[in-house]
Structure 1
């Protein structure tokens, strides 16, 4: 079996799906790409059993067949070859692969393609279309707040709830919660799924920069994403997601509006002086002034800054983990942000002051109890 393909085109397609492959997979065959040739059509699959990615490209060939090709050695070879047509010659009896280029010949040992796990198919149970911009925005705004705690698997992914009026994406790690809602994505046959973090990270790096349509289909066990010539199938997290709406405090009498970049810069400076374990910063709002302070008693480090803000409500003093606030403010892109508070022991809500008509984003962060040193 033989086919000819451009080295740079093949490398680009392999790079887009290579992220799925792990260094020590459960099954050794998963260290390979699955190549399936049907005349001038090449389909390449990479998988880690939980997630599979598939890409397709045109090649010069008159034959059909399949082979498992070692991923690492093939990627390294193509990265170091200049752009040129390369010829793959595959011995279907010994599974040996020979790559011929202008520079020379390279032989590597392939494996029997029949050992490669079958990719699950997703019957068209539920489906929704969204643009790559919407999906990328949903991933970027939620993925950083997913949990690493394998004992609470539901929180290691992003919850996606489809209704006939909107789609809501939610992530939480128990210390903070992000609710990202889009009114321009809806589905009549509403449903809710939890998508694993790894699959979303792969999507994030693979989504093209141009704004194209992404087709999402899912059933009870798998989700299927398709855009351009890339397909991704991932196993869903079969767990119950926490009742997040009950966590969001309803009456927040204290509202502070402040310039996002000023607030972020100040927090980054103050955080340097915070305790390295708790990362605690103290926010004290009095009138139209915000005082941000931190201290590390172990090293006698302390810092404080004052910023002007718009404030509606009584004076309040509250502690937060600076890392969480910094991450949230970095992910927002509005000029001003609103911080809504009720009491020093209740969660704070961070939202953009200027909202997009199609999106609604709410970030919740739990407070850190203050030691009242003054």
Structure 2
């Protein structure tokens, strides 16, 4: 089996799927990429059994067909050191000897039998749901929510992104109990209601490859696995089992106190003032009064403190509310509007953050739980 491939093109495809390989693989074969040559098409697979990434390349010069598993680490590190050039792969499928021949040299490795590589799960057609989603819509939904997922071993459903499909809209939800993000697309509708929880790792893999894709992503899923088909990549992953908590119940509905403020100004002020917050609590206070917000922080142990005033539009009672500054920074970083609206009811209840300038097809809401302010 022989084929010729561009070194930089091969490296680009391998790097995109290599994140699927676990640092401690459950099986030795999974430390490898599976190379499968059929006709002029080279398909490369990386997997950790839970998540599998597949990429394919059309080649001009090939000879023979077959499959072999090649060591991922040495292959990636070697390709990084090559300048752009054609690489000739010469593979003996009986001895599993592999020679990578370049213009100036030859690099030899021993592969493993491709048949030992785990096979992909199959979609249960009786329980399957299928839809098409624009690549940029899927990427935006993941970008908006991935940062809010949890790392909770006791509640694995919180460690992923909830995808909800209805005849009215599509919803992406993520929460770690402190913050919650709900991102809805009103331009994506399905005939039937369906949902699944996408784990954090495959969500991160999609986030990395979707910018390279155009057109639609074909999504199909059953009660155990999800399949994402793109032009150059395919991702198959096991879904998180269990029911996602009722997120709508924690979103406060009546919030009479509303602030309109420049997002970047508040973000920059937080960056300065939070440096003076207690390292233990990371607490910053927002004091809201007529068209003014005072952001303050202090660390009594080191006798340091800071405050900064910002102008804003504020309708409501004078109040002071506290937040963990790193969580508040996360929220502000991931809202896309230049001005934002903060909706509050009282210092003990969650604050709602929404963009001031709304897109007709988007409904974006972020929630942040406050911290207790010691008197």
Q: TM-score range by the shorter chain?
A: over 0.9
Determine the structure 1 residue equivalent to 2:100. Answer: 99
Equivalents in 1 of 2:10, 2:268: separation in Å? 43
Task: Check whether the contact 1:129–1:185 (CA below 8 A) recurs between aligned residues.
Answer: no
Alignment of 1:1-374 (within 5 A): 1-59=1-59, 60-123=61-124, 125-209=128-212, 211-372=214-375
Equivalents in 1 of 2:133, 2:373: separation in Å? 44
Equivalents in 1 of 2:260, 2:177: separation in Å? 25
Equivalents in 2 of 1:106, 1:121: separation in Å? 37
Task: Please state how far the C-alpha of 1:362 moved relative to its aligned partner.
Answer: 0.6
Equivalents in 2 of 1:210, 1:155: separation in Å? 28
Structure 1 regions of 5+ residues with no counterpart? none
Equivalents in 2 of 1:367, 1:12: separation in Å? 43
Task: Please state how far the C-alpha of 1:295 moved relative to its aligned partner.
Answer: 0.7
Equivalents in 2 of 1:371, 1:211: separation in Å? 51
Equivalents in 2 of 1:318, 1:11: separation in Å? 50
Task: Please state how far the C-alpha of 1:189 moved relative to its aligned partner.
Answer: 2.2
Superposition CA RMSD, Å: 1.2
Equivalents in 1 of 2:47, 2:84: separation in Å? 27
Q: Summarize deviations over 1:9-49 as a string: whole Å, max 9, x none.
A: 22222122111112221111101000111122111110011
Instruction: Identify if the C-alpha distance between structure 1 residues 23 and 328 changes in structure 2 by more than 3 Å, giving closer, same or farther.
Output: same
Equivalents in 2 of 1:352, 1:235: separation in Å? 34
Q: Runs in 1 of length 4+ with deviation above 3 angstroms?
A: none
| SS of residue matched to 1:277 | coil
Task: Please state how far the C-alpha of 1:240 moved relative to its aligned partner.
Answer: 1.2
Equivalents in 1 of 2:303, 2:96: separation in Å? 66
Task: Check whether the contact 1:286–1:316 (CA below 8 A) recurs between aligned residues.
Answer: yes
| SS of residue matched to 2:340 | strand
Equivalents in 1 of 2:53, 2:296: separation in Å? 47
Equivalents in 1 of 2:8, 2:297: separation in Å? 52
Task: Please state how far the C-alpha of 1:250 moved relative to its aligned partner.
Answer: 1.0
Equivalents in 2 of 1:37, 1:307: separation in Å? 62
Deviates more, 1:85-94 or 1:310-319: 85-94
Task: Check whether the contact 1:35–1:66 (CA below 8 A) recurs between aligned residues.
Answer: yes
Q: Summarize deviations over 1:76-127 as a string: whole Å, max 9, x none.
A: 2222222222111112222111111102111101001111111113355212
Equivalents in 2 of 1:43, 1:122: separation in Å? 20
| SS of residue matched to 1:317 | strand
Task: Please state how far the C-alpha of 1:8 moved relative to its aligned partner.
Answer: 2.0
Task: Check whether the contact 2:292–2:310 (CA below 8 A) recurs between aligned residues.
Answer: yes
Task: Check whether the contact 2:164–2:171 (CA below 8 A) recurs between aligned residues.
Answer: yes
Q: Summarize deviations over 1:245-285 as a string: whole Å, max 9, x none.
A: 00001111111111111111111111100111211111111
Task: Check whether the contact 1:193–1:236 (CA below 8 A) recurs between aligned residues.
Answer: yes
| SS of residue matched to 1:164 | coil
Equivalents in 1 of 2:15, 2:122: separation in Å? 23
| SS of residue matched to 2:202 | helix
Task: Check whether the contact 1:127–1:187 (CA below 8 A) recurs between aligned residues.
Answer: no
Equivalents in 2 of 1:94, 1:247: separation in Å? 61
Q: Summarize deviations over 1:185-229 as a string: whole Å, max 9, x none.
A: 121122010000010111111113564221111111111111221
Q: TM-score normalized by structure 1?
A: 0.97
